[in-house]
């Protein structure tokens, strides 16, 4: 898989790309991630990428020319062009699995007061990571990239995410490690029993109870279309 991230702040991705699972996936050539500064595509003397909005109003709006030029410099026939915006559909685990199947993803990070509305003629999809506003699309790009890359075959063991939260609309079951007793708080006895059938049954039951208590909307199938 190839992921191209279009941004005005490429330095923000330095730590993200050079640590932990993402770094290992890149080293193993399981994914190629490129950070593209679309400011370099501006043809204005000072590499300006924004301007005042027609009709007046506060803030600055990203110009089309450098953004579209940056998109067209990397897009192929199989590219999925995604605009990161609070106006998009909310990202979730099901979407991460869908995007994992793509050969090439272009993530477009906004900034300032947003995009010239005509940018929608040059994208395939608009995604939000939640109902709040950030200063730019860089953090959402990292969130989406991380959630996709960890699902790529060979990045982590499949067993590591098979029972994670949001699989089958359920949260993950509770997990424990040593010591068995800490300040009077004990590990559930069934986990120490060695009876794997009972352990699996307990875990499934705990997933249901945990989801019902914390995220009943998942059991109702809400927000996952």
CATH of the domain at 74: 3.40.1280.10
Same domain? For 167 and 144 the reply is no
Residue 54 confidence (pLDDT): 93
Tokens encoding 46: 């000072």
Q: Does a structural domain hold residue 157?
A: no
Same domain? For 32 and 100 the reply is yes
Report the C-alpha gap between 111 and 5 in whole angstroms: 14
Confidence of residue 57 (pLDDT cuts 50, 70, 90): confident
Domain stops at, among 103, 123, 149: 149
Residue 223 confidence (pLDDT): 56
Q: Mean pLDDT throughout 175-188?
A: 96
Same domain? For 18 and 125 the reply is yes
* Peptide linkage before 21 cis (omega within 30 of 0): no
Residue 220 confidence (pLDDT): 83
CATH number, residue 202: 1.10.1270.20
Q: Cβ atoms within 10 A of the Cβ of 198, count?
A: 12
Tokens encoding 220: 């109702």
Report the C-alpha gap between 215 and 213 in whole angstroms: 6
Q: Mean pLDDT throughout 106-123?
A: 93
Q: Does a structural domain hold residue 155?
A: no
Q: Mean pLDDT throughout 13-31?
A: 96
Q: Mean pLDDT throughout 124-137?
A: 95
Helices (H) and strands (E) in the chain, counts: 7, 9
Burial class (CB in 10 A: 0-12, 13-18, 19+), 97: middle
Q: Cβ atoms within 10 A of the Cβ of 31, count?
A: 17
How far from 72 is each of 37, 68, 79, 122, 175, CA to CA, in Å? Answer: 14, 6, 10, 9, 46
Closest CA to 112 of 52, 38, 29, 47: 52
Residue 145 confidence (pLDDT): 98
Domain stops at, among 104, 125, 149: 149
| Contacts for 166 with CB less than 8 Å, ≥ 6 apart | 92, 93, 94, 218
Q: Mean pLDDT throughout 118-125?
A: 97
Which one-letter DSSP state was computed for residue 42? -
pTM of the model: 0.87
| Contacts for 23 with CB less than 8 Å, ≥ 6 apart | 17
Task: Count how many domains the chain has.
Answer: 2
Same domain? For 128 and 178 the reply is no
Same domain? For 102 and 137 the reply is yes
Same domain? For 115 and 201 the reply is no
Residue 107 confidence (pLDDT): 98
Q: Does a structural domain hold residue 203?
A: yes
Residue 163 confidence (pLDDT): 55
Which helix (DSSP H) or strand (DSSP E) does residue 68 occupy? Answer: helix 64-74
End-to-end alpha-carbon separation of the chain, Å? 24
């Amino acid at each position: 898989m190839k992921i191209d991230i279009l941004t005005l702040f490429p330095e923000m991705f330095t730590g993200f790309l050079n640590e932990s699972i993402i770094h290992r996936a890149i080293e193993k050539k399981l994914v190629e991630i490129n950070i593209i500064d679309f400011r370099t595509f501006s043809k204005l003397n000072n590499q300006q990428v924004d301007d005042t909005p027609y009709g007046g109003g506060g803030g600055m709006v990203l110009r089309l020319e450098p953004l579209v030029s940056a998109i067209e410099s990397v897009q192929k026939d199989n590219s999925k062009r995604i605009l990161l915006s609070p106006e998009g559909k909310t990202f979730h685990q099901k979407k991460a699995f869908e995007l994992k199947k793509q050969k090439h993803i272009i993530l477009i990070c906004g900034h300032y007061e947003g995009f010239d509305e005509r940018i929608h003629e040059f994208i395939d999809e608009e995604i939000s990571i939640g109902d709040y506003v950030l200063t730019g699309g860089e953090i959402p790009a990292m969130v989406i990239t991380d959630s996709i890359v960890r699902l790529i075959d060979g990045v982590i063991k499949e067993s590591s995410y098979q029972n994670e939260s949001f699989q089958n609309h359920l949260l993950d079951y509770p997990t424990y490690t040593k010591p068995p007793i800490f300040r009077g708080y004990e590990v559930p006895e069934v986990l120490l029993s060695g009876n794997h059938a009972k352990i699996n049954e307990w875990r499934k039951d705990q997933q249901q109870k945990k989801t019902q208590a914390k995220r009943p909307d998942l059991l109702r199938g809400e927000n996952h279309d």
